[in-house]
Amino acid sequence: MTVVRLQENAPWAEHELTSGQAAALAAAELVRIAPGPRPGLWRLRDNGLIGAARIGPRHDPVEVRVRPKTPIDRLLFLLGYARQPRGWRQNTVDAGERPDLVPALAHAFARSAERALRQGVLLGYREREVALPVVRGRIRMVDQVRRRHGLPLPVEVRYDDYTVDIAENQLLLAAAHRLLRLPGVPAGTRKLLRHLLLRLDDVTRLVPGRPLPDWTPSRLNTRYHTALGLAGLVLRGASYELDDGTTVRVDGLMLEMWRVFEDFVCVALAEALRPYGGTVKLQDKRHHLDRAHRVRLQPDLVLNSADGRPVTVVDAKYKTGKTPQEDLYQVLAYCTAMRLHRAYLVYAAKTETHTHTITGTDDLQIVETALDLSSTPDALCTQVAALAHRIAFEAETLPPVSSWPNG
């Protein structure tokens, strides 16, 4: 097996690959690949994904490991702000001293699951529909008539069973099985994961490819929250969707950093804006660029006034360096459609930031700003809070929305 190690945003690197391995990498689009200076030598670099994956034919696989440029503890902090947050934040996650994503995530999950099960495996009620020789719970009369044709036994019943076979434990079990199949998980972590399998021996394994079961955060499953948040992250990384809509399943875990950053900015900024009033919409699809509603807009974050009118818009970009003009055109389209006076572009890092006053408008401004991902979690939260304060303060000083354009 060939192992390819890459660094996020690093220059092209040359690696020896067979034609089958190169074809598998090109088809999966997990990395960028180009022919090298001679046959058998290929040039590789990351494609916006981090993590590890093993792809290609069984007899000749290639293992790709992409190390993030963001420190693992910062990355797990960012991942705690998923678009649908379910129970965990970085201060409860122990990644250990591991620089790569998969070993760190596996260690964090194993430790959090171990803590969750320290008080015993969680039990809960689960509805069951079975045929029994005795009546338990309620008789399913329609099924009894349809399946038993008048016979009294067995009885088709529905009842609530107090069991360990609940969604929370099923998710932990599925995540442990998946991590044991991933490349790069250390032996010590594998031992913890195998011990977790023994603790959950009476839990039903999930069927691959089917939707994950839902769970609801509550006082009873509080000790599971961190482990379940990490389990969801592990299980969501089981496939990679290509631009044409097809899905490639890979034996690994790869994350899109632009999506991680966008989720962090949107969720953290929405939380920081809440005390200032108004409402925040994430990925708001109600707006269109044209009057015929053929061109839909989907800004990352829209701040609305108390009466529901858009006040300002924010778009997150996982980019560094010089601002691409298309970013400015994109938020200008948002402002034109929603008749706004202010928009914000939030980048992962920039050496310079600018405020652009747009020609031909009534003081429309597009503000560039950045968050320093190398900062500590507390410092990052402070940066987000400062940005929220600026957005809320400037929103109060803006002229009425109806004054631009065309009065």
Listing DSSP states for 370-385 in one string gives: E--TTS-HHHHHHHHH
Residue 337 structure tokens: 């459609």
321 Cα distance to chain centroid: 25
**Contact indicator for 53, 63 with CB cutoff of 8 Å:** yes
In a shared domain, residues 302 and 398? yes
User: Please, which pLDDT band fits residue 128 given cuts at 50, 70 and 90?
Assistant: confident
The single-letter DSSP state of residue 339 is T
User: Please, which pLDDT band fits residue 399 given cuts at 50, 70 and 90?
Assistant: low
The reported pLDDT for the residue numbered 143 is 77
Residues in a beta bridge with 155: 132
The Cβ of residue 57 has, within 10 Å, a number of other Cβ atoms equal to 12
The reported pLDDT for the residue numbered 252 is 65
In a shared domain, residues 36 and 133? no
**Contact indicator for 181, 236 with CB cutoff of 8 Å:** no
Domain count, the chain: 3
Q: Is residue 361 part of a domain?
A: yes
Q: Is residue 302 part of a domain?
A: yes
Looking at 67, 84, 109, the residue that finishes a domain is 67
Q: Is residue 242 part of a domain?
A: no
Specify the higher pLDDT residue, 369 or 183. 369
Q: Is residue 210 part of a domain?
A: no
In a shared domain, residues 58 and 138? no
Name the pTM for this structure: 0.71
The reported pLDDT for the residue numbered 335 is 93
In a shared domain, residues 274 and 350? yes
Segments in 8-66 forming alpha helices (H): 19-28
Tens of pLDDT, residues 57-113 = 778 888 888 888 888 777 877 877 765 444 434 334 444 445 577 888 888 889 889
**Contact indicator for 348, 374 with CB cutoff of 8 Å:** no
In a shared domain, residues 345 and 271? yes
In a shared domain, residues 21 and 140? no
Query: For residues 54 and 42, what is the distance between their CA atoms, to the nearest angstrom?
Result: 17
In a shared domain, residues 272 and 388? yes
Residue 242 has pLDDT above 80, yes or no: no
Which range of residues forms the domain containing residue 158? Answer: 124-163
Q: Is residue 217 part of a domain?
A: no
Residue 308 structure tokens: 């529901």
